[in-house]
Structure 1
Amino acid sequence: MNPKKQHTKSLHEIAGISLPEIINSKSANQVQKWRKKQTSSKELIDGILTGDIAVLSRAITLIESTNVSHLAQANEVITACLLHANKSVRIGVTGVPGVGKSTFIEAFGKHLTACGKKVAVLAVDPSSTISHGSILGDKTRMEELVKDANAYIRPSASGETLGGVARKTRETIILCEAAGFDTIIIETVGVGQSETAVHSMVDFFLLLKIAGAGDELQGIKRGIMEMADAIVINKADGDNIKKANLAKVAFNRALHLFPAKKSDWTPTTATCSSITGEGIPEVWQTIEKFLELTNENNSFVEKRAEQNNYWLLETINDQLRSHFYNHPEIENLLASTQKAVQKNEISPFAAAQKLLKKYFKD
């Protein structure tokens, strides 16, 4: 063989270099055995309630599983943890990609742990619509917070869920609360899709902005702005401080044009720097004022009750959708029906009615 044609790929092993030996083969084998071991519901529940992070992570993996055989055990664990949940403040953090969400959450999280809080960060990473893969790199971005003993970071792929919220994030919140975390931060993929999902599972909705993102007219556009409980202009440092302050004034004017919230809370605007830490303590002070007001007028409890009802209906919709597409008869008919629709042999609406009629008849 011609030695020049031996390696046709850019990645190859150089001859003479052997793979490094495993430092501790016994430990590696123990880890592999532990991963393969089927953990009982009682072991998962007990581990969560004692704050065992490894068990918590394993339980979250269980409830995120799309394997139907895992559903019963996942529901058993969630039901047991419900008795120990609902004792935290849930904060949603959103903003366009590049606004500095991960950097802000790390600085904010470090401030909270310094105040004696136990913080769980549920970071939702975007999934590729082509490969369906996800980088899950938030732990890399939050390299200081991930080492904090009072913090837990769990990245999850958004999958096909609109708004960048993983399908099981709502249940993950319950497990984290049962594990003793009193502050839950949910980082979304970013603005652009429906953010209703994250808004319906948090107590306080924080919108991060950057200077130069728009004027007052941009600010009064309904949607994400209307849902925000506070707007924070990030990256207010160096030469950007003046621009950030101008943006704060513009957004503050825009907020006054929105109708009053049911909680009687008036949304606020502020600036901060995730690099220098300037303005970070004030963000938490704002959230504390919000919690004080909403607990006094009982809107905090009312909102939680509304959210529970919302997720009841969402779960029903989700289960119906899953059951429909996994129905044997529908699976057999769907491909041929789709081809008929593509060839204009039947309208999409008539085809849908045909499939639904078949589903409900069976």
Structure 2
Amino acid sequence: MNEMNKKQSADADKIAVKLKQGDRRALARAITLVESSRSDHRATAQALLNIILPDTGDSIRIGISGTPGVGKSTFIEAFGKLLTAAGHKVAVLTIDPSSQRSGGSILGDKTRMEELVRDPNAFIRPSPSGGSLGGVARRTREAMLLTEAAGFDVILIETVGVGQSETTVAEMVDVFLLLLAPAGGDELQGIKRGVMELADIVVINKADGDLKSAAARAAAEYKGAIGLMRPKSKNWKPKVLMVSALNKIGIDKLWETIGKYRAARGSDNELADQRRDQAVAWMWSELGDSLMARFRAHDVVAARIKQMEADVKAAQIAPTTAAEKLLEIFLEK
């Protein structure tokens, strides 16, 4: 082991000790390491992840997605405060692939979660802006392991973006919550079937005051829609619940339902099998991302890519042929 590797290993050991003691500064530093693109930081981060791996996996991982204006920040704060009051340690992580274009909304969300931010048993970490979905997902997965090693037993992973990010979150959590507004009809038509199929629990928020009856109608419509879909699990049929995050109504029932979900899917190791499959899928995703990064960084490939793209656009060469040629260049010794 050379001197650089020895230093990275020693740094990882020191951080791991403090991390497992619940040191929040060590946790923040560890997440900064996994977010870094510097090669020495990445090496230290990988050493750290391997050290703390036996201390991970004891949390419940909950994915949360929702339509714009549904009150996600209010919901996460109310849910998080319920859990910390019950003695849990809650980490909130985000996946925001839109942040490179808009700056993302999570920074604003964090300032709105004023009570949860100040809670000593809560930890909120925005995704770094400017990252692709794959890069942000990688960092979020690693941050999830780090928060687990630091003693957080409930991990909330929020998707701020839309589209593929819902699938990405669903592939790294135990239970996926879809947060919706109290409207039916046209609103139901606007929810993509693929997103509905991901949901283990559908939560109708703002079910209070003048919107209570609308929420009840929406819940009935969503129940009907879910009934037409094939369940992901043989042991669990997705549920539809109504809550008011603002008035803290129904949040306790949601947590109770999550407990029933874990019991149902844990009865024959279905959840444990899901996590093992997710770990293997993460490995292949990481391999694909790493290979593509090395491919684009290859000097000769980088010099040929723009011309090859121009030839494809001009229909002078078939896309498949161009891909094969670039791959041949990459594999040349």
Give SS of 1:187's match.
strand
Aligned to 1:114: 85
What do the CA deviations read for 1:244-298 (whole angstroms, capped 9, x no partner)? 0110011111111111333410110011111100111111000011111122221
The change in CA–CA distance for 1:81 and 1:269 in structure 2 (over 3 A counts) is same
Please point out which of 251, 257, 261 is paired with 2:222: 251
Q: Does 1:160 align with 2:143?
A: no
RMSD: 2.3
What do the CA deviations read for 1:178-225 (whole angstroms, capped 9, x no partner)? 000000000101443352211111001000011225469738952011
Give SS of 1:168's match.
helix
The change in CA–CA distance for 1:165 and 1:243 in structure 2 (over 3 A counts) is farther
Q: When you count helix as a share of all residues, which structure comes out higher?
A: 2
Shift, 1:126, TM fit: 4.5
Report the TM-score when normalising by structure 2.
0.90
Give SS of 1:236's match.
coil
Shift, 1:44, TM fit: 1.3
In structure 1, distance between residues paired with 2:36 and 2:104: 16
Aligned to 1:290: 261
Q: Which moved more, 1:140-149 or 1:346-355?
A: 346-355
The change in CA–CA distance for 1:213 and 1:167 in structure 2 (over 3 A counts) is farther
The change in CA–CA distance for 1:262 and 1:346 in structure 2 (over 3 A counts) is same
Q: Provide the aligned length of Structure 1 versus Structure 2.
A: 323
Report the TM-score when normalising by structure 1.
0.83
| Amino acid in structure 1 at the alignment position of 2:253 | E
- For structure 1, the 5+ residue unaligned runs are 1-38
Aligned to 1:76: 47
Please point out which of 265, 274, 277 is paired with 2:236: 265
Q: Does 1:316 align with 2:297?
A: no
Q: Percent identity among equivalent residues? A: 48
Aligned to 1:100: 71
Q: Does 1:299 align with 2:270?
A: yes
Shift, 1:68, TM fit: 2.5
- 1:52-91 correspondence to structure 2 within 5 Å: 52-91=23-62
Is contact 1:212–1:247 with CA below 8 Å preserved after alignment? yes
What do the CA deviations read for 1:133-169 (whole angstroms, capped 9, x no partner)? 446333202111000011000011362116x953311
Give SS of 2:75's match.
helix
- For structure 2, the 5+ residue unaligned runs are 1-9
Please point out which of 198, 221, 231 is paired with 2:202: 231
Is contact 1:127–1:157 with CA below 8 Å preserved after alignment? no
In structure 1, distance between residues paired with 2:265 and 2:214: 33
Aligned to 2:151: 180
Is contact 2:98–2:161 with CA below 8 Å preserved after alignment? no
Is contact 2:231–2:238 with CA below 8 Å preserved after alignment? no
Is contact 2:104–2:160 with CA below 8 Å preserved after alignment? no
Aligned to 2:3: none
| Amino acid in structure 1 at the alignment position of 2:16 | I
Give SS of 2:176's match.
strand
Shift, 1:98, TM fit: 1.7
| Amino acid in structure 2 at the alignment position of 1:138 | D
In structure 1, distance between residues paired with 2:188 and 2:246: 29
Aligned to 1:30: none
| Amino acid in structure 2 at the alignment position of 1:161 | L
Is contact 1:165–1:198 with CA below 8 Å preserved after alignment? no
